[in-house]
Structure 1
Amino acid sequence: MLDSLSLDQLRVFVAIADHGSFSAAARRLYRAQSAVSNAVLNLESVLGVKLFDRSGWRPQLTEHGQALLVDARAILARADQLKARALGLTQGLEAELSVVVDVMFPTAQLVDLATRFQQTFPGVLLRLCVEVLGSVPERVLSGEYDLGIQGSLPDIAPELSSHVLPEITLVPVVAPDHPLAVQRKITIDTLREHTQIVLTDHSGRTRGRTFSVFSDLRILTADLGSKRAMLLAKLGWGFMPRSFVEDDLSSARLSELDLAERQPRSRKMPLIAIYRTDAPLGPAGKWVLDMLLAAEKKPTSRHS
């Protein structure tokens, strides 16, 4: 009997529940009230349960009706998603978009981007990955990911198209009871005497190279969360994205170091959107790139 279940019957069922009456649902669906009533009767027959109590002035969902309404909404949502994906595929829309982002990319911005993407492209699977340094371009160059947001590594491979995004503000921080926290105009020679927590990766692109590293005493990690934990534990000092430690600074869990001098690279970090030149972005990928560039008043392409 369930083979005779139709999406139209489910839409009528949901419309009655949402609008409170058979007549209101009929007006909403541009149908005759008799057609709406027949659709519900047929659905109840197929399911073998009574969905509405019709004894009162307005139909009321039965206990079974309330339970099955959740399933009906889910089925209709999946059906709409299927139709949207099929339509998108016929128009060249990607079935899946994969994006790899540098660990320095603000988490709140990533969540907002994913939320808006889901609302705009409900039928496209979004696959995200967080990497550090040379691992971001490696993932894009290998074809594993369509779009990358590169940050820690300043070099752009010639095979990649790139667009400069807004910079990330970096701040040197340390636990408030670390010896460096009370010093003023800290010199590079002084920094060398204390352990620095440094981000690293396993890609060959950064072998033998360091970025904003001043100390000979180092703890290496590839994860921003573990770096923060080690800073809080007084294991050393390090540069962090200000957005990532804003709450720690305001609550005095971390302190900003007073450095005597800072190189431009240690103050700001440019973020760069990258993708393979021989694999142009589709509609969903272009939308993501446009959203990333929208934060910049005058977006600049470094390679076209």
Structure 2
Amino acid sequence: MHFSPESLEAFLQAVETGSFSAAARKLRKSQSTISNAIANLEADLGITLFDRSSRQPVLTSQGHRVLPYVQSIIAASERLDEVSVRLAGNIEPRLSFVLSDVWQTAHHESILKRFSGKFPDIEFECLIAEDEDVIDLIQSGRAHVGVLRVQERYPVDVTVARLQVGAEMSIFLHRQHELAQLPAVELDQLHTVRQLCLKTYKDPTRQTGGGPAWSSPSLLMLLEMAEQGFGWGILPRWLVQQFGHNVLKELPVAGWPQRIDVDVMWSNKVPPGAAGRWMIDQLRAQQA
């Protein structure tokens, strides 16, 4: 039996977002189109996927049984798309790459040098963003390939792969501050000092540590704020070492520094072309 990709995608998005209306917004379609697509899938399968008796649709026991199979079908379709791109060798005219400052510059500089030699005629763009903003840029089609710190959950319309090279984050404060003179610093002590925290454009409501806070969507901007003595921040160690002008001190706080895993991400709705796939392969192959 043939199941339409639209129906399968509508089902997955409804599960991911929790409602038909949210799935419609995500897929840029009308709610009736999503409802009809899911109804058609239910008719084809001969089962009920969602209980519609409450305000929001609830996945039935049959829906839970079907879900992993639908996920497998979509994943296989995405792998087929990737194989076809590799075999066809079609090179896109433009590649947009969005990068997190969590990831050390040296890791991607060598890749860009090889990219320049292999794809000399491609228009290349490099953007800087963090967390939810990276996801948003990939989902909207503004960027084709992204590198970001690992997130707890990802939307169903993107594919991610873990990179072998991660990062280390630690807590930094201007070395002239009184807390920077202590042999050990407690988190409660930090709450009395302004925190310089990351807040993305996509999620400006992210909570801080509980004390006064300044925020920015850029880790580099937070670094500059810390250098000016405006407060403490959780920053990549490499960023401070390379651009910190030796005015910050890494605070001796229990549990820090912390290792951060990093993912490469791309859209499975509009997968990258040959150049984008080459970039992904190089990122995944890079050793620490």
The interval holding the TM-score normalised by the smaller chain is 0.5 to 0.7
Query: Which residue does 2:134 correspond to in 1?
Result: 136
Contact 2:101 2:220 in 1 (8 A): no
Q: Distance in 2 between matches of 1:104 and 1:228?
A: 12
Given that 2:150 and 2:263 are in contact with CA atoms closer than 8 Å, whether structure 1 keeps it comes out as no
Cα deviation for residue 227 of structure 1 reads 1.4
Q: 1:279–1:193: structure 2 CA closer, same or farther, 3 Å change rule? A: same
Q: Would you say 1:197 and 2:196 are equivalent positions?
A: yes
The residue type paired with residue 228 of structure 2 is A
Selected match of 2:119 from 118, 121, 128: 121
- What is the CA deviation profile of residues 24-80 of structure 1, one whole-angstrom value per residue up to 9, with x for unaligned ones? xxxxxxxxxxxxxxxxxxxxxxxxxxxxxxxxxxxxxxxxxxxxxxxxxxxxxxxxx
Tell me, yes or no, if structure 1 residue 226 matches structure 2 residue 221: yes
Q: Distance in 2 between matches of 1:125 and 1:172?
A: 38
Stretch moving more, 222-231 or 133-142: 222-231
The alignment status of 1:180 with 2:190, answered yes or no, reads no
Q: 3-state SS of the aligned residue for 1:122? A: coil
Q: What is the aligned-residue identity percentage?
A: 22
Q: Which amino acid aligns with 2:139?
A: L
Q: Are the counterparts in 2 of residues 102 and 130 from structure 1 also a CA contact under 8 Å?
A: yes
Match of 2:266 in 1: 275
Equivalent residue, structure 2, for 1:235: 230
> CA 1:198–1:152 in structure 2 vs 1: closer, same or farther (change >3 Å)?
farther
Alpha-carbon separation, structure 2, partners of 1:207 and 1:157: 19
Match of 1:256 in 2: 250
SS at match of 2:98: strand
Counting matched residue pairs gives 201
The one-letter code sitting in structure 2 at the alignment partner of 1:258 is P
1:169–1:267 CA contact under 8 A, matched in 2: yes
- Code of the residue aligned with 2:168 in structure 1: it is T
Q: Which runs of 5+ in 1 are unaligned?
A: 1-89, 298-304
Residues 184 and 253, structure 2, Cα contact 8 Å, conserved in 1 = yes
SS in 1 for 2:134: helix
Length-normalised TM-score, structure 1: 0.60
Corresponding residue of 1:145: 143
Look up the equivalent residue of 1:174 and give its one-letter code: L
Q: Which moved more, 1:168-177 or 1:220-229?
A: 220-229
Residue 139 of structure 1, CA deviation: 0.8
Shift of 1:218: 0.8
Q: Establish whether residue 244 from structure 1 lines up as the match of residue 239 from structure 2.
A: yes
In structure 2, do the counterparts of structure 1 residues 154 and 296 end up closer, same or farther at CA, with 3 Å as the change threshold? farther
**Residue of structure 1 in register with 2:98 after alignment:** 100
1:115-157 residue CA offsets vs partner (Å, 9 max, x unmatched): 2211111121112111122111001111221111122744321
Does the CA contact (< 8 Å) of 2:199 and 2:205 recur in 1? no
- Structure-to-structure mapping, 1:72-87, within 5 angstroms: none
Give the structure 2 partner of residue 51 of structure 1: none
Give me the whole-angstrom Cα distance separating, in 2, the residues matched to 1:168 and 1:261: 15
Find the counterpart in structure 2 of residue 289 from structure 1: 280
1:79-136, Cα deviation, whole Å (9 max, x unpaired) = xxxxxxxxxxx84111111111123232333333322211111121112111122111
Cross-structure match for 1:38: none
- Tell me the amino acid that sits aligned with residue 175 of structure 2: P
**Kept after mapping to 2: 8 A contact 1:191/1:215:** no
CA distance in 2, matches of 1:117, 1:95: 13
1:280-304 deviation line (CA, Å, top 9, x unaligned): 332211111111111248xxxxxxx
Q: Which has the larger radius of gyration?
A: 1
Change (3 A) 1:179 1:215: farther
Alpha carbons of 1:112 and 1:242: their partners in 2 closer, same or farther (altered >3 Å)? same
Instruction: Write out per-residue CA displacement over residues 225-281 of structure 1, whole angstroms, 9 at most, x where no aligned residue.
Output: 3211111111111111111111467x742111010344xxx6122211111122233
Counterpart Cα distance in 2 of 1:252 and 1:280: 42
CA RMSD of aligned residues (A): 2.4
The alignment's TM-score, normalised by the length of structure 2, stands at 0.63
Partners of 2:121 and 2:255 in 1: how far apart?
50
State the one-letter code of the partner of 2:249.
Answer: S
CA gap 1:207/1:183 in 2 versus in 1, 3 angstroms: same
Go from structure 1 to structure 2 and tell me whether the alpha carbon gap of 1:190 and 1:129 turns closer, same or farther (over 3 Å shift). Answer: same
